[in-house]
Chains A and B, each alone.
Chain A
């Protein structure tokens, strides 16, 4: 007979219970399936259409004075206005200032009427004065590099602001400095400002802050009382994706509208897709190989790199075309000068004799003449005292193009008898290792630069002696170069300036502190069913100097 033991387990495992369990499990699968079929979330209604961007990392903060990520700058550029802004042709246009005039070392801004802050308070000249003084006097944030010669700023009347510098400024900081509301920021001390997260940013810009889920999304909504032409889009949002491939899938199925940075191999898969438009744009960026030129005794870099012959030999070993083809899947041009070709007339290109690229014979000849003739069993050269020409090379693990570049460079270096040992680091370790000014413990890196502004001063300003401890990532120091920089920074005559800039590039190229490997293309893609009217701009439709695409695109089908 069956026992009448009614322990829980007995009841559980009767046949009927097993069937019940099966039904339960079945419903676990069926119910979600049914639910998902009946009511997909509504995110494509034209009436409330906002631009959905997909990217790889989250913003760090809404505080323009402490931010260091390009993602944050992108979002801030929509919440805040600058005095003048880049248009779709990358030329300055009036923004908060209806006109800007330069007279020697003074810049005069005539301000716009009828501008209000997102919290309703009126925008005044005091806000501009406050912002300029805050940055100029305290050297706060990444824009402080344009205020190194700042003297003073005044507002002679309610519509005018006059900024005075020590010498004429070839680059107008009004193009990049976000104007902050004095009535909010002046309540904080400088110390507090440096810690402030500015979670609910208030600006004058075309979009207001809407929401943020840390690590996942940021969103902004259209500012209905903006002074400019109202954008068609009702807002914008940015979502973090961990994997490029999954992000590309999200673009294909309409989850996002545009990806501002697509890696080369993933991009290959998007080209030819009828529902997407993929854009291969010229960029204001390069990826480079840098040498540790710190000559302090405490430096842990290999001193052999201080010998220009060694660096140039490595330059001759490097095959930039191979890097462009293989590491960048063809979406790059071989590099050279520290300025990118996108800078037009300013750009300098080495002649055939000056070219230091893909010529292992010349590299070998150079090293032979320099006395590194001894070789070990593996063909690696040695100094006269038997030290091998062996260097460490590092790259950021998650930047696959750099990893591939380093691997290709390793094989190339073998051709001139130099051994490179490769290891990867995370991006923050890269920063703290390379920029360790006391005792930098690295030999060679693979990294990259994006020009912060549409002006040669930014990139040319990187390897200045004064930037050691700042942007100078290779401890390069050349007084002649420094002198030329100061000259061109205050040269308002375009032709004269071009000549100075060209000479600077030539000196820097020959000194071989960098091996600029490639000028990579900016690869972006957008969904045709999302928005239309995207203007393809060198440097990117978004994630560029200009924010105008956000303002000008219209929802598809509207």
Chain B
């Protein structure tokens, strides 16, 4: 399939005529891709996802999922997507199994099929032995897995995951991502996810869009984005006391060298290839390398580069964040 699975053009949502949550966002997601929406809390990620899954109507702009318009053909969209929401939406008073069957019924899946599928999915997310327990007895990670299973019951072609690891501890987060990867492999879906964990986006997504204050600031593959910063940082120290700046500068791929009190900070493309070349060049001239470290730029630097503040800073201002969150919550609700 050459056509874009998701295509958004100028998607905008304004709450209460004044609060601009999503501001003319345009992007496209290709078939089989893992596309990540990355941004601090309150950046407009959930609002965007809610428009794509037809729960919110856009104020302006359009979007389509598998060629279906999200407003005019909302019901067609709903049939082909799966949703794993941010909150735990499973009914606590029911068992895991009852919840999954309920989800299946909402898609109108005949009982014979849904029963078989439910058991399959329980196996996949390793909840088989808990399937007849009430959901209120589940832990956070188990609930997340149950949500995953629910989102997959209709064998969706596109799966939307809104902050799938929010509020989970590190191990559970890692495990959850393992499940998601496995599910993707098993069913070959296109994934659209939001996260505010940079490492996660880096490790999982084929392409990401960084969103802040309702606007997409930049998008591309994590590698491209990092490369756009100008490459890796190699730090080198040598035993001898002479200045080798020019020598390092002459090595291929090296972009910039700075002597910082005897240790050299080298900016280079493809650091893992360049570093051995530098060592080689230094050796040939009889220098001894005592220390070397290679740092690849992280998405955090990308984020910093494009928004002018680190993502952590963006979250640091607790009052701002909380106020915005509360308004957003209220606004979304109304």
Q: Are A and B genuine complex partners?
A: no
